[in-house]
Structure formats: C-alpha cells, structure tokens
C-alpha cells in the first residue's frame, strides 16, 4: 500500500521533472513553481486547482470561492487510509499549532477521494480526530473526480489479496493556495511539521 502510494507520488515527481507533465498538465499559465524540497518545477503553462463544487460535513456547498481571502492548505485522501493520510493530516495540525496566531489566515482542508465510504458523517468524525480547524469535504463521485482532476490528483481503488475492504491508491501532496485561490506551492509527502510551519510563515508574511 505504502509502496504503491510512493510509486504514485514518485510518478508525479517524475512527470514533473521529466517535463512529461504536459501529458497531465495541459492548460493555464503557472510559470515555474518550485516544489518544496523536490528540486522539481511544475512546467510552465500548467494550472493546478480551479472550480470545484463539494459538500462540507454540515451539508453546505463549498466552491473554490468559499475560502477566497484566506490561505488554504489542501490535502486529498480518505478516512480508511492506513498510513499516509493520518501522517500528513497530523503534520498539518502540528504545523498550524506551531504557527499559533500567525496561522489564523490558513484554513486546512481535507478532500476525500473515497466518497463511497466518506460520507459527511464519516468525515465529520474523522477530521475531529486531527484538528477542529480541519474542514472535511466530500461530494458525488463526479464532483470528487472533477476536483481531483483540477488538482491533478491521482487516485484508484485497489483491493489487496485476502483483504475484506478496498484501499485507495492516491498521490499525496499538500497544496498551498493563496488568498486569491491560486496555487502557491506543493509540499511533498513526509514534509516535517517545523519545515511546513517555517515555509508557511515566510510565505504568509511575504504575501506569496
């Protein structure tokens, strides 16, 4: 499982650094965006993020405009994830704690790529385990597919041998979007909480 996710993440990195990203990243103009500590850049002419229509854990509709004016830390995953998602969500929570009041402009968002199991109720329970600030978003299969496509998120259902429940392979990046809703950077899987906090702090104070 972990291995598969690593392959998926590595796949994205490989795509980016090899310039094959054009296959995946096809439109818009993002310029040279540095991936934190990856040494890779998203190819020019690429957009990440855009219109989404999802539902929060209280049933309210959330679009790309909902959090305009605030910084967004977005992570895609699923509540049944045995390893990576809990680690990354914990990192986000600890980083926000480290920032203290300086982190107030940031809204952490968890978008499920497993809407079949991650209902509003299931997500509400799950996000509470990590952080009261964490916003859980789900939607129809189509809405999730559209959001994932917009953020270039890879995900696929997989059923390990002898397993009773399915798992989801998925790419794992933490996306930082600015108050204007544009992508500012991606943080790789495994980024440390202090490193994340430091980067957020300098980006927020620089406004970029």
Residue ranges binding Ni ion (CB under 5 A): 77, 81, 84-85
CB–CB of 71/176 below 8 Å?
Answer: yes
Q: Pick the closer one to Ni ion by CB: 77 or 136.
A: 77
Q: Pick the closer one to Ni ion by CB: 85 or 204.
A: 85
DSSP 2-59: HHHHHHHHHHHHHHHHHTTHHHH--SS----EEPBTT--EEPSS-------EEEETTS
Chain-centre distance of CA 121, in angstroms?
20
Distance CA 138, CA 111 (A): 6
Distance CA 72, CA 156 (A): 25
Distance CA 146, CA 82 (A): 25
- Indicate the DSSP class of residue 152: T
Q: Pick the closer one to Ni ion by CB: 81 or 96.
A: 81
| Minimum CB distance to Ni ion, residue 171 (Å) | 10
Q: Pick the closer one to Ni ion by CB: 77 or 178.
A: 77
| Minimum CB distance to Ni ion, residue 68 (Å) | 28
| Minimum CB distance to Ni ion, residue 180 (Å) | 29
Place of tokens 């600015």: 178
CB–CB of 121/175 below 8 Å?
Answer: no
| Minimum CB distance to Ni ion, residue 76 (Å) | 9
Q: Pick the closer one to Ni ion by CB: 10 or 20.
A: 10
Find the residue with minimal CB distance to Ni ion: 81
| Minimum CB distance to Ni ion, residue 22 (Å) | 27
Establish how many alpha carbons lie within 13 A of residue 176's alpha carbon, considering only the half-sphere containing its beta carbon.
Answer: 23
| Minimum CB distance to Ni ion, residue 166 (Å) | 13
Instruction: Specify the DSSP element, H or E, that contains 194.
Output: helix 193-206
Q: Pick the closer one to Ni ion by CB: 21 or 77.
A: 77
């Amino acid at each position: 499982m972990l291995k598969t996710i690593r392959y998926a993440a590595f796949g994205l990195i490989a795509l980016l650094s090899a310039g094959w990203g054009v296959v995946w990243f096809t439109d818009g103009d993002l310029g040279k965006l540095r991936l934190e500590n990856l040494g890779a850049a998203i190819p020019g002419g690429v957009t990440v993020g855009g219109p989404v229509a999802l539902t929060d854990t209280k049933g309210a509709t959330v679009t790309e405009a909902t959090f305009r004016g605030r910084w967004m830390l977005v992570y895609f995953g699923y509540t049944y994830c045995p390893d990576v998602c809990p680690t990354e969500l914990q990192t986000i929570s600890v980083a926000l704690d480290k920032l203290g009041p300086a982190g107030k402009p940031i809204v952490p968002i968890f978008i499920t790529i497993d809407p079949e199991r991650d209902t509003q109720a299931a997500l509400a329970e799950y996000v509470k385990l990590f952080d009261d600030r964490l916003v859980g978003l789900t939607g129809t299969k189509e809405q999730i597919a559209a959001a994932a496509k917009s953020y270039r998120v890879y995900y696929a259902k997989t059923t390990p041998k002898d397993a009773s429940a399915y798992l989801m392979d998925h790419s794992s990046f933490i996306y930082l979007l600015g108050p204007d809703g544009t992508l500012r950077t991606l943080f790789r899987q495994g980024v440390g909480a202090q490193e994340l906090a430091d980067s957020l702090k300098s980006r927020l104070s620089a406004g970029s």
